[in-house]
Chains A and B, each alone.
Chain A
Amino acid sequence: MKKTHFSEWGIESPRYWGMLAVLGAIVAIAGGAVFYMEHNGHWVTGMTNQVVWGIPHVFAIFLIVAASGALNVASIGTAFDKKIYKPLGRLSALLAITLLAGGLAVLVLDLGQPGRLLIAMTHYNFKSIFAWNIYLYMGFMGIVAVYIWFMMDHRMKPYYKPVGVLAFLWRLILTTGTGSIFAFIVARQGYDAAILAPMFVIMSFAYGLAVYILVLMFAFKVDGRDIGYAIQRRLKNLLGVFAAAVFYFTLVYHLTNLYGTENHAYEAFILRDGGIYTLLFWAGWVFVGCLLPIGIVYHPSLGKTRGGLIAAATAVILGGFATMYVIVIGGQAFPMAMFPGKTIVASGFFDGVNGQPMLYSPTLAEFLLGIGGVALVLLLTFIGIRMLRFLPNSLSDEVADPHYTKS
């Protein structure tokens, strides 16, 4: 194994600026959508007093969850001393920061009063998971920034490992915190389950890695850099394990719910009668998000190809969005159980009359905001890899594989 050299992203200027222009335009359109929603108020969205969190939250939570997961590749190299992952660490940490920035931007821009962000920084209710998360997110950005510095600066080599371990522990707490936003909601049947917190950690592993794989392969491909089979195989197997772990947690979550009679109505809603939520659960969360990538990754021939890896990573991401939709929106669409043993036959405030779910039809502006968040992530990432040395010159087997022998 040779010494790894890093360099800035070397694609030709017109191509680089072209990409920035396209991404910038998408971000600008999202900015227009934000202005439209904030100027008018939330009545121009599909969000209501029943479904209070919508598409922006689906995107924001996906990105925030993926952010902590993207750091995993670096953590495996640093905290667990796997040498082959070390060259991959810088991009992994950069993506962790940009994904978090994109997710937070979407979350903040959907607030009813985004101009009062300063209040969120100065008034704290320490019982609120949301308030803890503000600290967790800010701390995460700071620690990962230092982590990147120590990875890049040879003088800081002695401190590199402790910071890496700290970043790893911090990201575990952070995703637990994100999952707890839902896990602590006692009011709603679909949430209020401690398993949501570890399930979010596992999901973050899968989504973050999938995003990492796609960005890495794209950045290398357009710059003519080489990724050898050794790296591809590692990433592919890791993705398969994570997708399987998500599947396992999904199974446990629903099986434990099915054990308790009080949750039967909710389970019937998600698994059988929920329309769009049922469809997204089975087709999106379970099939596209778990089974399909597992199938591709462990397929004897497909799994060895570049295309197979890209397809598997894409499937995990699409399944991830479906998962977030089922959790965030589906959990709210299911009527609250206020009167056990009784059916609400009339209500002046949409309490789920005759067990009907709450309606939600997202509007274009909400999607534009979410997509703008994704574009912002890529924009920041591309600028980062262009300006600083995040990418190794090569990940070909002779560079990356410690067991490589010339044949």
Chain B
Amino acid sequence: MSREKQQGRREFLKTSAAAAAVTIAPGVMLHTLSADAAPRTEPVTDKVRWGMLIDANKCADGCTECVAACDKENGLDLVDMPEGADPSLWERQRPRWIRQVKLKDNLSGRITNLPMMCQHCEEPPCVDVCPTGASFRRADGIVMVDRHICIGCRYCMMACPYKARSFIHAEVAEKLTHTPRGKGCVESCNFCVQRLDNGESTTACQEACKHQAIVFGDLNDPDSAVSQALKKYPSVQIRADLKLNTGVRYSNI
């Protein structure tokens, strides 16, 4: 029910944006929009590199809106605990794409909150180790799993420095059309690839963040909001020592 409501809201936002665009510049915008909003028909290229900047200062203590939005968008809330499972063990086995982490500085005691997810590395260790090539990096920088050839060895989970991946430990009864999911494969955040491929330009977590802590966009486009923000504020990569050139950056950790 709430899913439908949310979908409805998104549709509404899209159509109202389109209407606004049409009134401002009828000829040009109409063309761009129709090309943009339709499902993609050309292969993705490396002209775009999707990325994120997360401002830990803005990320609020105790807020889990982004986590809930991700669960809903990607059908993670549909993954039920199997009958007879131990709830505390199941908590460690259920999939999570994004999580809230609260840090305390050992010296100053300063508290920081931030969301952690797949960092979409340019040199992803998970892709290096995958025996079948199921773990791969798309031309536009999104690191994802091709479930059709994932054999469930979990070597990528051993190799990921961010603990970003989940293994599907049980049968999944209900799944969404755009996020297939089955027992025995590994998965992780894919920057809501189904949205991007259908012409949208936000992720569920960014859209859900009331505090504007997440800026998402094309790192290769100097005019994009994320590039502008990265230029303006100092930011870091988590485990920068590994030189993975992550697509997700953080400021004010």
Contact = CB atoms under 8 A, between A and B. Distances in A.
Direct contact between the two chains A and B in their complex (CB within 8 A) = yes
Interface of A: 38, 40-43, 46-50, 52-53, 111-114, 116-117, 119-120, 123-125, 127-131, 134, 181, 184-188, 332, 336, 338-339, 341-351, 359
A112 B158 contact: no
A111 B151 contact: yes
A40 B170 contact: yes
A349 B85 CA distance: 18
A48 B105 contact: no
Interface in B149-166: 149-155, 157-163, 165-166
B158 A187 contact: yes
Interface stretch (B130-138, B191-199, B216-224): B130-138
A38 B168 CA distance: 12
Nearest to A132: B131
Interface stretch (B12-20, B37-45, B92-100): B92-100
Interface string B86-125: 0001111111100111111111000110001000000001
A368 to B, nearest CB: 19
Contact of B150 (A112, A184, A332, A348): A112
Interface string B57-84: 0000000100100000000000000100
Contacts of A181: 155
12 contacts: A49-B94, A49-B96, A50-B163, A112-B151, A112-B154, A112-B167, A116-B151, A128-B131, A341-B106, A342-B105, A348-B64, A351-B101
B213 interface: no
B15 to A, nearest CB: 34
A111 B151 CA distance: 6
A187 B131 contact: no
A46 B33 CA distance: 50
A41 B171 contact: yes
B90 A130 contact: no
B131 A120 contact: yes
A344 B133 contact: no
A131 B132 CA distance: 7
B183 A112 contact: yes
B174 interface: no
Nearest to A351: B101
A49 B93 contact: yes
A188 B159 CA distance: 8
Given A113-B185, A185-B159, A348 B92 contact: no
Contact of A187 (B99, B127, B159, B169): B159
A125 B152 contact: no
B128 to A, nearest CB: 5
Contact of A112 (B90, B103, B152): B152
Contacts of B133: 123-125
B242 interface: yes
7 A-B pairs with the lowest CB-CB distances in the bound complex, closest first: A112-B152, A112-B184, A130-B131, A187-B161, A48-B92, A348-B99, A349-B99
A398 B104 CA distance: 73
A131 B131 contact: yes
Contacts of A346: 100-102
Given A338-B239, A344-B102, A48 B131 contact: no
B129 interface: yes
Contact of A119 (B95, B116, B132): B132
Interface in B165-188: 165-171, 183-186
B103 A120 contact: no
A125 B184 contact: no
Contacts of A186: 125, 159, 161, 242
Given A124-B132, A128-B130, A42 B103 contact: no
Contacts of B29: none
Contact of A48 (B89, B170, B239): B89
Given A48-B169, A116-B151, A342-B106, 8 more contacts: A40-B82, A112-B150, A112-B167, A113-B152, A119-B132, A125-B133, A185-B129, A346-B101
Contacts of B100: 346-348
B105 A336 contact: no
Given A185-B159, A339-B103, A350 B92 contact: yes
Contacts of B152: 111-113, 116
Contact of B161 (A50, A338, A344): A338
Contacts of B158: 52-53, 185, 187-188, 332
Contacts of B166: 49
